[in-house]
C-alpha cells in the first residue's frame, strides 16, 4: 500500500474470485466480454470514420487505417528500427534490469537493518509525489544528451516501486519460514536466494511489472522531451514537422508495445505466483 499502483494491482484480484458468475451474466443481451468487444469496435469505428466524415478535421486526426498502414511501414523501415525502436527497447531493458537488481538489494537492506528502514521508509511512500522527471534537464546538462541520462532517470523512477514491493514481500514472510531458515543454518547467500526471495516472490513480481512499466514510461518521456533518437523522439519530431500520420503511427506503436509488454508479463507471472501460493 506504499505505492499507489501496487494498490491498483489489488483492484484486479477480487475480480478473479467472482468472475464465474459475472462471465455468465448478461446486461442488455451482452456479457462482459461482449461489452468489451463492442466498446473496442466503437472506438475503432470512431477513429476510422470521424476524420473521414469530417467530424474531426483531418489535420488533427487521421483515420485509424492510415495509422496502422504507416505503423507497418515503419516496422519495415530499417532506419526507424535502428534509430528509434531499438534504442528505446535497449534503454527500457537496461533501466529495468538496473532497477530490479538495485531495488531488490536495497529492499533486502531495508528489511534487514532497522536504520535503513527508518531512513528510507518515510521516503518510499512519498517518493512518487516528487516529479522525478524534473531531474532530466539536470542530467542532460551534466551528462549530455544520450543513452546514459535516459537510463539513469528511468532507473531512478522504477527502483522505488521495486524497493517497496520487495520490502512488502519480505515483511509478509511467515515467521515459521524464517525459523526454518535459521534451523537449517543456511549461509546468508543461500538464505537470501533459497528462502527469502522465493518466499517474497508474489509481491516481488508485482514490483517487476511496475518497474517494467515505469522504465517504459520514463524512457519514452525523456526521449519525447529532449533526445536525438528513440520512439519518443520520433513522435515529438513528427509533431514538430506536422507529420501527423507519422506521429499517430508512433503513438500506436508505443501503445501496442506498452500493452503487449504488460499483458505478456502478467501472463508469464500468473503460473509462477500460483505455484508459490499453493
Partner 1 sequence: MSLSTAVTPRTQAGRSRGVLASIGWILILPAVILIGWAITAATVDSLVFPGPLQSLARLGEDLSEPGFRQSIVSTVTLLLAGWSLAVIVGTLVGFALGLSNFWSAVFETPLFALYSIPKVTLYPVFLLFLGIGDASRLTFAFFHGVFPIALLVMAATRSMDKNFLKLADVLVLPWYTRLRLILIPALLPSIVTAVRIAFGLTLLGLILAEMFSAQSGLGRELVSNVANVRVDHIAGQVVFIAILAVIPGFALRWGEKRITRRYGS
- For the bound state, the minimum distance from the C-beta of residue 30 to partner 1, rounded and expressed in Å, comes to 9
Binding to partner 1 by residue 46, rule CB under 8 A? no
- For the bound state, the minimum distance from the C-beta of residue 78 to partner 1, rounded and expressed in Å, comes to 22
Among 158, 205, 224, 230, binds partner 1 (CB under 8 A): 224
Binding to partner 1 by residue 5, rule CB under 8 A? yes
Residues 128-157 touching partner 1, rule: CB under 8 A, are 128-138, 140-142
Residues 47-86 touching partner 1, rule: CB under 8 A, are 59-61
Among 81, 258, 271, 274, binds partner 1 (CB under 8 A): 258
Residues 183-212 touching partner 1, rule: CB under 8 A, are none
Please, which residue, 69 or 138, has the CB nearer to partner 1? 138
Q: SS3 sequence, the chain?
A: CCCHHHHHHHHHHHHHHCHHHHHHCCECCECHHHHHHHHHHHHHHHHHHHHHHCCCCCCCCCCHHHHHHHHHHHHCCHHHHHHHHHHHHHHHHHHHHHHHHHHHHHHHHHHHCHHHHHHHHHHHHHHHHCCHHHHHHHHHHHHCCCHHHHHHHHHHHHHHHHHHHHHHHHHCCCHHHHHHHHHCCCCHHHHHHHHHHHHCHHHHHHHHHHHHHHHHHHHHHHHHHCCCCCHHHHHHHHHHCCCHHHHHHHHHHHHHHHHHHHHHHHHHHHHHHHHHHC
Q: How many residues bind partner 1 (CB under 8 A)?
A: 74
Among 202, 216, 227, 249, binds partner 1 (CB under 8 A): 216
Amino acid at each position: 500500500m506504499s505505492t499507489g499502483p501496487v494498490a491498483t494491482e489489488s483492484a484486479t484480484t477480487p475480480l478473479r474470485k467472482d468472475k464465474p458468475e459475472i462471465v455468465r451474466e448478461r446486461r442488455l443481451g451482452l456479457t462482459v466480454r461482449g461489452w468489451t468487444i463492442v466498446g473496442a469496435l466503437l472506438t475503432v469505428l470512431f477513429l476510422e470514420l470521424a476524420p473521414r466524415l469530417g467530424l474531426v478535421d483531418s489535420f488533427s486526426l487521421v483515420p485509424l487505417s492510415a495509422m496502422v498502414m504507416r505503423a507497418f511501414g515503419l516496422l519495415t523501415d530499417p532506419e526507424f528500427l535502428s534509430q528509434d525502436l531499438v534504442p528505446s527497447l535497449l534503454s527500457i531493458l537496461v533501466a529495468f534490469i538496473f532497477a530490479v537488481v538495485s531495488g531488490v538489494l536495497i529492499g533486502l537492506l531495508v528489511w534487514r537493518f532497522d536504520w535503513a528502514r527508518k531512513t528510507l521508509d518515510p521516503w518510499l511512500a512519498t517518493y512518487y509525489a516528487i516529479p522525478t522527471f524534473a531531474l532530466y534537464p539536470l542530467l542532460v546538462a551534466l551528462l549530455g544528451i544520450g543513452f546514459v541520462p535516459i537510463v539513469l532517470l528511468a532507473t531512478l523512477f522504477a527502483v522505488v516501486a521495486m524497493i517497496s514491493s520487495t520490502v512488502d514481500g519480505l515483511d509478509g514472510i511467515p515467521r515459521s519460514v524464517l525459523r526454518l531458515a535459521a534451523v537449517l543454518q543456511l549461509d546468508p547467500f543461500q538464505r537470501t536466494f533459497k528462502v527469502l526471495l522465493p518466499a517474497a516472490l508474489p509481491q516481488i513480481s508485482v514490483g517487476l511489472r511496475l518497474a517494467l512499466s515505469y522504465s517504459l514510461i520514463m524512457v519514452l518521456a525523456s526521449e519525447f522531451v529532449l533526445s536525438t533518437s528513440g520512439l519518443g523522439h520520433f513522435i515529438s519530431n513528427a509533431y514538430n514537422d506536422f507529420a501527423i500520420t507519422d506521429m499517430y503511427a508512433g503513438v500506436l506503436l508505443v501503445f501496442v508495445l506498452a500493452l503487449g509488454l504488460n499483458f505478456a508479463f502478467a501472463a508469464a507471472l500468473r503460473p509462477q505466483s500460483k505455484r508459490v501460493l499453493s
